[in-house]
Amino acid sequence: MASIRARIYKYVLRRTIKNNIFGNGIQALNKVRARENGASILTKIIVSDRPGIPLTIGNIQAEWVGNQAAQQTLLYLHGGGYVFGSINTHRSLVSRICADAGLRGLIIDYRLAPENPFPAAIEDAEQAYDYLIETGSDPRNIVIAGDSAGGGLALALMQKLGSHKKPHPQAAVLFSPWTDLTLSGASHHDRAERDPMINVNRIPEAIKFYCHNEDTSNPLISPLFADLSGFPPMLVQVGTEEVLFDDATRLVENAKKVKCPVELQVWQDMPHVHQLAHKFVPEARAAVRGAAMFLKNHIST
């Protein structure tokens, strides 16, 4: 059974996100983006008020967090359906991972849809990875992580690195990755009511914003259909209450088929990317510690 704090968090999610309908279109999306920097209860739970060290990579705004003396680096790609999310919304989570694993972390504000649809986000992720290499980071000292759409983006980035003959990072952590924009998983229907965060009626709009006229079965858009051969060791964490549950479990099944080292952690009674609530929910804190330990065990020392 979920902790009392987890149950409170799920209640807040259902009231402030799932059942708070702003309408459709870009104006409604901009209202969601504006709320990310607001003073709501949810914002106070997940957002850190301690900025890191800002930098610019080409035209990409980025931020360093964590132990800047560390040689090992975490590149983090935030979630938000490719249409919202930012350094601000994920700084606290990335800082906590870095503190637990003894890493420095680089978070980027990749370009968002619909203003910048596919493949803009992937281009920015690859540019950030190239920046790390160009500024002296050894790939054996780089790990990658992402949540939700950021998890899918991390998988797309690793596909790009392979096709461009670039070295992969040493390991990857994926929190509730969005891997199937064709929406073929049964959990999109079976867990629609159980999920306290994601309103399945809004997903098609995000897909339209991001994909425009692209084929959603493109492995760079839906990494569930990618060849994962040669990918680095991966940890996938997912909660049982998620409509994206099958996105995670089917990805793990595919990885095992090609003998990609992969570990799946299923968190009972937890919502989508519950790790964001690590400051409030004990299960979230435990998941973050597990992710940090995985990265620490796989990165070169």
* Residues forming the active site: 148, 242, 272
User: How does residue 255 score in pLDDT terms, banded at 50, 70 and 90?
Assistant: very high
Across 9-13, 30-34, 132-136, 213-217, least confident range: 30-34
Q: Where are the domains of the chain?
A: 4-298
Quote the pLDDT of residue 9. Answer: 95
Q: Is the pLDDT of residue 52 over 70?
A: yes
Model confidence over 84-106: pLDDT tens digits?
999 999 999 999 999 999 999 99
The second-level CATH assignment, the architecture, of 4-298 is 3-Layer(aba) Sandwich (3.40)
- The alpha carbon of residue 249 and the mean position of all alpha carbons in its chain are separated, in whole angstroms, by 16
Question: Model's pTM, two decimal places?
Answer: 0.96
Tokens of 273: 């990317």
Tokens of 188: 């999109």
Q: Is the pLDDT of residue 160 over 60?
A: yes
Q: Can you tell me the distance from the alpha carbon of 84 to that of 159, in angstroms, rounded to the nearest whole number?
A: 23
Q: Can you tell me the distance from the alpha carbon of 146 to that of 61, in angstroms, rounded to the nearest whole number?
A: 17
Q: Is the pLDDT of residue 301 over 60?
A: no
- Report whether 216 contacts 182 (CB < 8 A): yes
User: How does residue 141 score in pLDDT terms, banded at 50, 70 and 90?
Assistant: very high
Tokens of 238: 């997912």
- Report whether 177 contacts 107 (CB < 8 A): no
- Report whether 179 contacts 224 (CB < 8 A): yes
Q: Can you tell me the distance from the alpha carbon of 31 to that of 276, in angstroms, rounded to the nearest whole number?
A: 21
In this structure, what are the phi and psi dihedrals at residue 122, rounded to the nearest 5 degrees?
A: -70, -40
Q: Is the pLDDT of residue 272 over 80?
A: yes
Q: Which residues contact residue 193 at a Cβ distance below 8 angstroms, ignoring those fewer than 6 apart?
A: none
- Phi-psi region at 209: left, alpha or beta (left = phi > 0; alpha = psi -120 to 50): alpha
The DSSP H or E segment spanning 155 is helix 149-163
- Report whether 111 contacts 86 (CB < 8 A): no
Q: Which amino acid is residue 195, in one-letter code?
A: D
Across 44-58, 69-83, 191-205, 250-264, least confident range: 44-58
Q: Can you tell me the distance from the alpha carbon of 191 to that of 220, in angstroms, rounded to the nearest whole number?
A: 25
**Beta bridge partner(s), residue 153:** none
Quote the pLDDT of residue 211. Answer: 97
Q: Which amino acid is residue 223, in one-letter code?
A: P
Q: Which amino acid is residue 208, in one-letter code?
A: K
Q: Can you tell me the distance from the alpha carbon of 191 to that of 71, in angstroms, rounded to the nearest whole number?
A: 42
Arithmetic mean of pLDDT over the chain = 94
Tokens 């989570």 map to which residue? 93
- Cβ atoms within 10 A of the Cβ of 30, count? 12
